[in-house]
Amino acid sequence: MHVIERLELLLKEAQQAIQSAGNARALEEVRVKYLGKSGLVTEVLKGLSQIAPETRPQVGKASNDVKNRITELLELKQEGFESKGGSELPLGWDPTLPGRRQPMGKMHPLTRVQQEICGIFKSFGFDQVEGSDVETDYYNFQALNVPPDHPARDAQDTFYLQKGLLLRTHMSPIQVRVMEKLKPPFKFVAPGKVYRHEAIDATHHHIFHQVEGVLVDKGIHFGHLKGILDNWVKKFFGSKVETRFRPSFFPFTEPSAEVDISCVFCQGKGCRICKQSGWVEMMGCGMIHPVVFENCRIDPNEWTGFAFGMGVERLTMFKYDIDDIRLFYQNDLRFLKQF
């Protein structure tokens, strides 16, 4: 056989051997077999002296080319092993296959709804502020005109910490925190976790989320409150949804109201979800009590305003027809993936 043909054959063989080498050791064996001291290609190079002088340069070049090509292939394969972090590369590994898709994370439904709630108020010009989960009795109760014997102060309802601290039972302390600092006019919303010492069931949890809102300016009256909340409800639930304001009581607002919305599932006709009434209670609200203004050194004769507070879980459950609040906290992907 002509030497050049023999070299081409060796290259083909070596190529195949390199391809099927499953690890670095097998690769080294291939190198020794072809390029080692008495390797097959090396032998051809050694025999050059016996070749006729006129073909020598041609054969010399061909054998060098083959040697270089094999070296190149060996290096490439070795790099493949190294980039895999080890010397083992499974047989049949194909680096040109597309990668495996990683599952994408999603926002928790409560986070999404909370952002949606605040986003609508921000489109009305409200700022967004944050408070602290740990509060003092003063901000959670006293400054909000909650009398010392109010049932909400009972250890049955409030998680008390050491040194007179407690976990906020509602987002309303943010009213006092902001009003102490800012000069009116202002309007803001504040989302956050609240804590109540309650037994857990399908509609109660000891941790849940509220969004509190406040607007203070000159000449603000109950009509403004109704206008803002009615507009908000129509943006959040849809333009056909109606609101109804029922008299209620909160120590920090006067007058106070509960806001009902017409049931989005039966259009107010009456169903299981609205307990046949056609209406569902959605939030508490009212005109900020003069005593609260005075506690924050704001003159109630000059400024008036309103506040409201809504439960994020409740709104989410109603919007998506979820009948058990515990689902939000169980981290069951079958539930979470639906949002």
Binding mask 198-237 for ligand PHE (x = CB under 6 A): --------------x-------------------------
Q: Which stretch binds ligand PHE (CB under 6 A): 64-72, 110-118, 265-273, 284-292?
A: 284-292
270-292: b (≥16 Cβ within 10 Å) or e = eeeebeeebbbbbbbbbbbbeeb
Does the protein bind ligand PHE through residue 170 (CB under 6 A)? yes
Please name the amino acid found at residue 158: T
Query: Which residues, numbered 295-324, are part of the site for ligand PHE (CB under 6 A)?
Result: 307-309
**φ/ψ (deg, to 5) at 204:** -125, 145
The Cα–Cα gap between 239 and 249 comes to 28
Burial class (CB in 10 A: 0-12, 13-18, 19+), 30: buried
The Cα–Cα gap between 22 and 26 comes to 6
Does the protein bind ligand PHE through residue 158 (CB under 6 A)? no
Contact with ligand PHE (CB under 6 A): which of 109, 173, 286, 305? 286
Least distance from ligand PHE to the Cβ atom of residue 277, Å: 20
Indicate the residue among 131 and 286 with the shorter CB distance to ligand PHE: 286
Does the protein bind ligand PHE through residue 184 (CB under 6 A)? no
283: Cβ–Cβ under 8 A, 6 or more apart, which residues?
A: 229, 258, 259, 308, 309, 310, 311
Contact with ligand PHE (CB under 6 A): which of 140, 158, 243, 253? 253
Give the CB-nearest residue to ligand PHE: 309
Least distance from ligand PHE to the Cβ atom of residue 212, Å: 6
Query: Which residues, numbered 75-114, are part of the site for ligand PHE (CB under 6 A)?
Result: none
The Cα–Cα gap between 161 and 180 comes to 24
Query: Count of residues binding ligand PHE (CB under 6 A)?
Result: 11
198-233: b (≥16 Cβ within 10 Å) or e = eeeeeeebebbbbbbbbbbeeebeeebbbebbbebb
Does the protein bind ligand PHE through residue 172 (CB under 6 A)? yes
Does the protein bind ligand PHE through residue 131 (CB under 6 A)? no
43: three-class secondary structure by DSSP = helix
Q: Which stretch binds ligand PHE (CB under 6 A): 51-59, 183-191, 268-276, 280-288?
A: 280-288
Q: Which stretch binds ligand PHE (CB under 6 A): 98-106, 231-239, 282-290, 291-299?
A: 282-290
Does the protein bind ligand PHE through residue 285 (CB under 6 A)? yes
Does the protein bind ligand PHE through residue 250 (CB under 6 A)? yes
